[in-house]
Amino acid sequence: MKINILKKIGLMIFVGMGYLAHVHAASPLEGYWKSVDDRTGEDLSIIEVKKMPDGTYGGVILHRFAPPGGAVLTHCTKCPEPYKNKPLVGMQILSGFVEDPSKPNSFIHGKLLEPKSGKIFEGKGVLISDGRRFRLRGYVGVSILGRTHVWLKVNDPKAEINKK
């Protein structure tokens, strides 16, 4: 009887360690982020960032916020093909980001789709504030010719959406 209990306890510890190793292995970039307009400070979208099968990071819009006194932008009307006139919710707007091997918490070689203008930018980013903020730079050609957005980490996207 004691041996069976010890085996069960050992199995639970083994499974628990495997779970903790899996949780620990997730990149701090993975998760839910709120994008904020760098000019107005208004909430734009909730985006889910995941590590893709090819090892890069990509982000998909889960929710779009309405601007004060305005309507929610629902479709990518100014975007190039294959994004043109497609719904924004479910659209991948962040792709190809890889961890910078020379800088911790930095990501490079990405692409960003800016739904409002329909432009696609090269991108890089760095996690700041203990991983609670993602400073994302979109640019064409050289980084100095671009704009920086700061995304905010969101623990509970449903609660964030319901705030509005």
| Average of per-residue pLDDT values in the chain | 87
Task: Report the SS3 class of residue 24.
Answer: helix
Q: How many CA atoms lie within 13 A of 35 on its CB side?
A: 27
Is residue 9 a part of any domain in this protein? no
What's the confidence (pLDDT) of residue 23?
A: 43
Is residue 97 a part of any domain in this protein? yes
Is residue 64 a part of any domain in this protein? yes
Q: How far apart are CA 73 and CA 116, in angstroms?
A: 8
What sign results for the dihedral spanned by CA atoms 41, 78, 31, 67? positive
Residue 5 has pLDDT above 90, yes or no: no
State how many domains the chain has: 1
Is residue 93 a part of any domain in this protein? yes
Is residue 19 a part of any domain in this protein? no
Q: How far apart are CA 136 and CA 117, in angstroms?
A: 17
- Note the pLDDT tens digit of each residue in 20-78: 444 445 789 999 999 998 888 899 999 999 999 999 999 999 999 998 888 999 999 99
Is residue 58 a part of any domain in this protein? yes
CATH number of the domain residue 142 falls in: 2.40.128.520
Q: Say if residues 126 and 143 touch (Cβ distance below 8 Å).
A: no
Least reliable range by pLDDT among 7-16, 48-57, 134-143: 7-16
What would the mean pLDDT of 106-112 be, rounded to a whole number?
97
Is the bond leading into 82 cis (omega within 30 degrees of zero)? yes
Is residue 50 a part of any domain in this protein? yes
What would the mean pLDDT of 144-154 be, rounded to a whole number?
92
Range of the domain at 127: 27-162
